[in-house]
Amino acid sequence: LWTAANIIDDAAARVRAQVGSDKVLLGLSGGVDSSVVAALLKRAIGDQLVCVFVDTGLLRWKEGDQVMATMAEHMGVNVIRVNAAERYFAALAGVQDPEAKRKIIGRLFVEIFEEESAKLTDVKWLAQGTIYPDVIESAGSKTGKAHVIKSHHNVGGLPEHMKLGLVEPLRELFKDEVRRLGVELGLPREMVYRHPFPGPGLGVRVLGEVKAEYVELLQRADDIFIRELRAHGLYDKTSQAFAVFLPVKSVGVVGDARAYEWVIALRAVETIDFMTAHWAHLPYEFLGAVSTRIINELHGVSRVVYDISGKPPATIEWE
Ligand code: XMP
């Protein structure tokens, strides 16, 4: 019988049989899959689990703190947080090209994760949040079938020299099943049913060069948009919604003075499979209220626009 509780018991027993009393390392990203693996492994092997969470500085507003609050404080998971924002900003300085940014962000993640794992000498296993669609997708790419438009970065696999065995307890599960496990394991519903977030994070939502100042404006605009969507019962009606920072200045009037400030774009889509998407027909009054809040609350932003492009031809992300 498929119930989340049965699947969890079964997966936990299998993990215990696989790893015995060895320590297991897991990279936490803040996303659903790695969070569910963490909660599951915590249940299965308790403190034999060690998580490394690389805070890239490119996550949503205060997301790093939220990951720690949920996983470490609430669930009691052993998490090592690495505050790497400055390293990311330094590595991204002067870089404009989206694919170049993706590569830098992906490479730096592997580097930092390796550095941290090298400090953990007694770890024997690496856990990953691989789910069934990932298995299918990578099988496709090996036969050359995957159509790569963007080099999607996720945890790329284990560092060769570490010689760790793999633990992948979600390998046979679909996303909706993983979510049900998450809720059963006690993760907050809000986290488990979050919109997808790209691996390179806000690195591809600040168009062109990524700067700390831009990221903070973007995070705060995005936070206002998402909170308002939730408050109006619109969050679950959209498949993905977010703000984008446009590095262009436009003229506005702030108070009595003429201002020359940044532009924020809002994007919200409805989709089944993320391969094609429609822009979400959010109510005008709602969009107006979000725009007013962003402009009033964020110094440096005087214009907000709404993206009304479908996919294709526009991708969901702007980069
Ligand atoms: P696009 O922009 O290609 O996005 O229409 C489709 C879905 O994929 C996500 N996305 C990414 N996810 N690494 C990821 O892990 C990436 O580089 C990346 N680029 C796009 C996007 O957020 C959307 O859900």
Domain with residue 66: its CATH number is 3.40.50.620
Is the four-CA dihedral 283, 288, 291, 297 of positive or negative sign? negative
- Total of domains in the chain: 2
Asked whether residue 32 is marked as a ligand-binding residue, the answer is: yes
Task: State mean pLDDT over 3-8.
Answer: 97
Q: What is the ipTM metric for this complex?
A: 0.99
Which residues sit with their C-beta closer than 6 Å to ligand 1? 102, 149-150, 152-154, 196, 198-200, 240, 274, 311, 315-317
What mean pLDDT, rounded, does the chain reach? Answer: 93
Pair (15, 114) in one structural domain: yes
- Give the β-pairing of 165-167 and 123-127: parallel
Q: Which atom, in ligand 1's list, is nearest to the CA of 240?
A: 24
Pair (130, 57) in one structural domain: yes
Domain boundary among 192, 222, 238: 192
Query: Which pLDDT belongs to residue 154?
Result: 44
Query: Which pLDDT belongs to residue 149?
Result: 38
Pair (179, 215) in one structural domain: no
Pair (187, 211) in one structural domain: no
Distant-in-sequence, close-in-space partners of 141: CB < 8 Å, separation ≥ 6: 148
Pair (154, 262) in one structural domain: no
Asked whether residue 186 is marked as a ligand-binding residue, the answer is: no
* 299 lies in some domain: yes
* 198 lies in some domain: no
Query: Which pLDDT belongs to residue 1?
Result: 84
Whether the pLDDT of residue 303 is over 80: the answer is: yes
How many A from CA of 251 to the centre of ligand 1?
32
Quote the percentage of the chain above a pLDDT of 70: 93
* 216 lies in some domain: yes
CATH number, domain containing residue 271 = 3.30.300.10
Using pLDDT thresholds of 50, 70 and 90, give the confidence band for residue 160.
Answer: low
Residue nearest to atom 14 of ligand 1 (CA): 198
* 314 lies in some domain: no
List pLDDT tens digits, range 75-120. 999 999 999 999 999 999 999 999 999 999 999 999 999 999 999 9
Pair (44, 170) in one structural domain: yes
Query: Which pLDDT belongs to residue 138?
Result: 78
* 49 lies in some domain: yes
* 311 lies in some domain: no
Pair (283, 186) in one structural domain: no
Pair (172, 231) in one structural domain: no
Tell me if 130 sits within 8 A of 89, measured CB to CB.
no
Pair (14, 106) in one structural domain: yes
Residue nearest to atom 8 of ligand 1 (CA): 198
List pLDDT tens digits, range 166-185. 999 999 999 999 999 999 99
List pLDDT tens digits, range 271-296. 999 999 999 999 999 999 999 999 99
Domain boundary among 159, 192, 225: 192
* 111 lies in some domain: yes
Which residue range forms the structural domain that includes residue 273?
Answer: 205-306
- Give the β-pairing of 257-270 and 278-279: antiparallel
Pair (104, 140) in one structural domain: yes
How many A from CA of 317 to the centre of ligand 1?
6
Pair (125, 147) in one structural domain: yes
Domain boundary among 192, 226, 248: 192
* 294 lies in some domain: yes
Whether the pLDDT of residue 152 is over 50: the answer is: no
Pair (157, 212) in one structural domain: no
